[in-house]
Amino acid sequence: MEYFKNRKTIRNYSAEHISDLEIDEMLAAAAHAPTCGGMQLYNVIVTRSEEGKSALAPAHFNQPCLAGASAVLTFCADFNRVSRWARERGAEPGFDNLQSFISAMLDATILAQQFVTIAEMRGYGTCYLGTTTWNAPQIIEALGLPELVIPVITVTLGVPTGHLVDIQPRLPLDAIRSREKYEPVNIDSAYSELESREDSRRFMKENRKDSLAAVFTDVRYPKAGNEHFSEILMTVLHQQGFLK
């Protein structure tokens, strides 16, 4: 339990190398995670070369943790493999639809978290890059992804430098747990501790906002940006064959 309570996202890595063998061992163990119908609807592309990381960097807004990582893992929702398997065995697949994408996306997400847990328990550092679906077209091109394959999560992996990192705050349990039916929470109780933190007040001051909520709605995740990247994802779903 202490691991889960104290885990941290690590963005600063040393030059120490993590071998391909060990990454494969961790992925093989992670693949025992739950999966839709036992189909394992994912493909993980491991990028190690400087050339490969440079090709991915613009899609992730050139975040430093990508360049400094020992490996960059792109977890993709993949119905291409299962569809090919079906056709080569005389069966007709029907996976070119939104529900199939969601199933594969969940498979890839579960696999990614299982891998992250295994890697961190071995003492390695990881960081999720939330930009994967935002700029999926660039990633699809850089990685040569075929029809019915879409990148959904990227994880950087490396040996931590020892740089001190704070444990990120979490909302109280009552804010995220309901019993039997959905229970609206008391907003003041749910967010008071987060809003009173020194770093939260600093974010408000730096962004000239009167509330931390406004930092999220107006600066970090504004409506225009959400709509823009939603349009990109919809285009990708059509392009990759999940929507007709």
pLDDT tens digit sequence for 54-77 = 999 999 999 999 999 999 999 999
What's the pLDDT tens digit per position in 226-241? 999 999 999 999 999 9
The answer to whether residue 239 sits within a structural domain is no
Q: What H or E segment, with its residue span, contains residue 12?
A: none
**Is residue 101 in some structural domain?**
yes
Dump pLDDT digits (tens) for 88-114: 999 999 999 999 999 999 999 999 999
CB-based contact 41:82 (threshold 8 Å): yes
Domain tally for the chain? 1
Contact 150, 233 (CB under 8 A): no
- List the end-to-end C-alpha distance of the chain, in Å, as a whole number: 45
- CATH code, 128: 3.40.109.10
Q: Is residue 232 part of a domain?
A: no
The distance between the two most distant Cα atoms of the chain, rounded to a whole number of Å, is: 63
**pLDDT tens digit string along 11-66?**
999 999 999 999 999 999 999 999 999 999 999 999 999 999 999 999 999 999 99
Query: How confident is the prediction for the chain on average, in pLDDT?
Result: 96
Q: Is residue 114 part of a domain?
A: yes
For residue 21, the enclosing domain spans 2-165
Residues 6+ apart with CB under 8 A from 13: 65, 68, 69, 70, 125, 156, 158, 159, 160, 161
Domain assignment present for residue 85? The answer is yes
* Tokens (6 digits) for 135: 């700029």
Where are the strands (E) in the chain, listed by range?
42-47, 71-78, 125-129, 149-158
Would residue 211 count as lying in a domain?
no
Q: Is residue 6 part of a domain?
A: yes
Note whether residue 187 is domain-resident.
Answer: no
